[in-house]
């Protein structure tokens, strides 16, 4: 339980003590994830009385008017009840499945996210996983590290040639399209499933919109880029995995609960699936033990947006949303428009 006393942001204090004469009122009390502290500049926090909230501490009762949580913090009915003065939840992520947006809307609390700034970083990481799976990079590294490499061999660690194969995108929003655009120079055919057609994307890449069933059965590489919602949860399950092409590669940089992890482990153990490249998991940081032990996986610790530039921009946008709302202006990136 975190209480605000003694944890005020010293820059905000400085602000009211005179460095900024325009600040004549008490600073706004805000809760910000403590893990973001090193990514934020003092001027971004001006006018805010910050309580830094570590990820392992629950939200306490208090008069904070804003919260900037990490995606690992659930902000639901209880938290909103504890924070009766809350005006904004500025999630430091593009996904906002950790926020009960309906409960927030009912309490007239604005919810914002951090779109766009993380698109390229996440698309690049998706390609890291695609290439690592297709070219068996983890097995290759393990071989070298174990001093088991016996020299060049024509059949050593043969992988999948990308040119001419089909990349299927589930979700073709910002990140899905960025992944699809990167597929063109690799010579991949792109298909996608999304709720609405993307004519610009189709024109630029030759991508073809298909239904879910065709996406599953025609993809050599199936990459997930839809948010976690009641409709998308568990879409990759025993049934869908059994309908994928033998040897296909599954990549997930969206949210872990799109995949039933035990079913994926079984598909990998049985040799039906070629490989799985994952950045996200259902119960992070725990990975289903059977999946962690399964063959032909590339398992990353949710680092899709983890570049210096992107993480700074995400923190900056989250706090800029807080500053805008507290100044009586519209939020920059609301999740409901
Ligand atoms: P976005 O622009 O909102 O794109 C989401 C896409 O999913 C849209 O094309 C949307 O279709 C589609 N979609 C949503 N529900 C669907 C459904 N039921 N069936 C089919 N398609 C559906 O979001 P984004 O910026 O690309 O981010 C996508 C997700 O990536 C985020 O929600 C987040 O969970 C995840 N992410 C992960 C990391 C990481 O660190 N690994 C980093 C950033 C983001 P329409 O366009 O037709 O609405």
- Decide if pLDDT at 20 tops 60: no
Q: What is the pLDDT of residue 184?
A: 98
Question: Tell me, what's the pLDDT at 3?
Answer: 37
Ligand 1 pocket: which of 93, 225, 298 to mutate (most atoms <8 Å of CB)? Answer: 225
The pLDDT value recorded for residue 205 is 98
What whole-number distance in Å separates Cα of residue 21 and Cα of residue 18? 6
β-pair partners for 51: 31
* CA–centroid distance, residue 256 to ligand 1 (Å): 13
Q: Burial level of 55, CB count in 10 A (0-12/13-18/19+)?
A: exposed
Angle, to 10 degrees, between the axis of helix 174-183 and the axis of helix 119-134?
Answer: 50
Question: Cα(139)–Cα(1) distance, rounded to whole angstroms?
Answer: 44
Closest CA to 10 of 52, 63, 39, 54: 52
Backbone angles phi, psi at 320, to 5 degrees: -65, -35
> What confidence tier does 5 reach under pLDDT thresholds 50, 70, 90?
very low
**Among 1-10, 170-179, 213-222, 276-285, which stretch is predicted with the lowest mean pLDDT?**
1-10
Active site includes 225? no
Question: Rounded to the nearest 5°, which phi and psi values hold at 99?
Answer: -120, 130
Contacts of 226 (CB under 8 A, 6+ apart): 170, 171, 173, 176, 194, 232, 254, 258
| 4, 277 contact by CB (below 8 A) | no
Please compute the mean of the pLDDT values over residues 226-248 and round it to a whole number.
98
* Residues 6+ positions from 259 with CB-CB distance below 8 Å: 224, 234, 235, 236, 237, 250, 252, 278, 282
Q: Which of 255, 260, 288, 311 is catalytic?
A: 255
- Pocket-forming residues, ligand 1, beta carbon under 6 Å: 94-95, 115, 118, 122, 171-176, 193-196, 225-229, 231-232, 253-255, 279-280, 302, 304-305
Q: Which of 70, 95, 40, 82 is nearest to 323 (CA)?
A: 40
CA 174 to ligand 1 centroid distance, Å: 7
Active site residue 73: no
Is the pTM above the cut of 0.75?
Answer: yes
List alpha helices for 280-337, DSSP H. 289-293, 308-326
Is there a contact between 3 and 63 (Cβ–Cβ < 8 Å)? no
Q: Are 217 and 191 in contact (CB under 8 A)?
A: no
> Which phi and psi (to 5°) does residue 125 adopt?
-70, -35
Cα dist from 237 to 217, 253, 282, whole Å: 14, 17, 13
**Is it the case that residue 4 has pLDDT exceeding 80?**
no
Specify the ligand 1 atom closest to the Cα of 175: 26
The answer, yes or no, to whether residue 124 has pLDDT greater than 90, is yes
CA of 324 to the centre of ligand 1 (A): 25
- For the segment 68-84, what is each residue's pLDDT rounded down to a tens digit? 999 999 999 999 999 99
Active site residue 161: no
pLDDT at 192: 99
What residues does 170 pair with on adjacent strands?
Answer: 193, 224
**Beta partners for 78?**
none
Q: Coil, strand or helix: which one is 29?
A: strand
Residue closest by Cα to atom 2 of ligand 1: 173
Which residue's alpha carbon is at the smallest distance from atom 38 of ligand 1?
Answer: 304
User: Are residues 39 and 313 in contact, defined by beta-carbon separation less than 8 angstroms?
Assistant: no
Tokens representing 28 are 């706004």
Residue 40 corresponds to which tokens in the numbers above? 């934020």
């Amino acid at each position: 339980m975190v209480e605000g006393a003694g944890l005020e942001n010293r820059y905000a204090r400085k602000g009211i003590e005179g460095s900024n004469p325009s600040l004549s009122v008490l600073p706004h009390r805000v809760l910000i994830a403590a893990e973001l502290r090193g990514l934020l500049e003092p001027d971004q926090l001006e006018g805010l009385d910050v309580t830094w909230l570590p990820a392992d501490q629950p939200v306490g009762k208090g008069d904070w008017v804003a919260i900037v949580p990490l995606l690992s913090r659930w902000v639901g009915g209880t938290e909103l009840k504890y924070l009766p003065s809350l005006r904004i939840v500025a999630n430091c992520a593009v996904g906002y499945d950790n926020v009960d947006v309906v409960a927030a809307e009912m309490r007239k609390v604005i919810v914002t996210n951090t779109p766009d700034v993380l698109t390229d970083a996440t698309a690049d990481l998706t390609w890291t996983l695609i290439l690592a799976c297709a070219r068996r990079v983890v097995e290759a590294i393990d071989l070298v590290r174990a001093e088991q490499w016996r020299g060049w061999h024509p059949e050593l660690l043969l992988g999948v040639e990308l040119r001419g194969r089909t990349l299927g995108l589930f979700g073709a929003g910002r990140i899905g399209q960025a992944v699809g655009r990167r597929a063109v120079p690799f010579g991949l055919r792109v298909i996608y499933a999304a709720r609405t057609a993307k004519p610009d994307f189709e024109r630029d890449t030759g991508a073809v919109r298909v239904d879910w069933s065709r996406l599953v059965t025609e993809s050599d590489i199936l990459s997930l880029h839809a948010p976690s919602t009641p409709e998308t949860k568990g879409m990759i399950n025993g049934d869908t995995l059994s309908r994928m092409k033998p040897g296909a590669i599954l990549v997930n940089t969206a949210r872990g609960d799109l995949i039933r992890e035990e079913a994926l482990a079984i598909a990998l153990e049985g040799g039906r699936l070629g490989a799985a490249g994952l950045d996200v998991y259902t119960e992070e940081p725990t990975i289903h033990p059977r999946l962690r032990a399964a063959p032909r996986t590339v398992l990353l610790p949710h680092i899709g947006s983890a570049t210096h530039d992107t993480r700074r921009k995400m923190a900056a946008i989250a706090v800029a949303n807080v500053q805008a709302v507290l100044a009586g202006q519209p939020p920059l990136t609301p999740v409901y428009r």
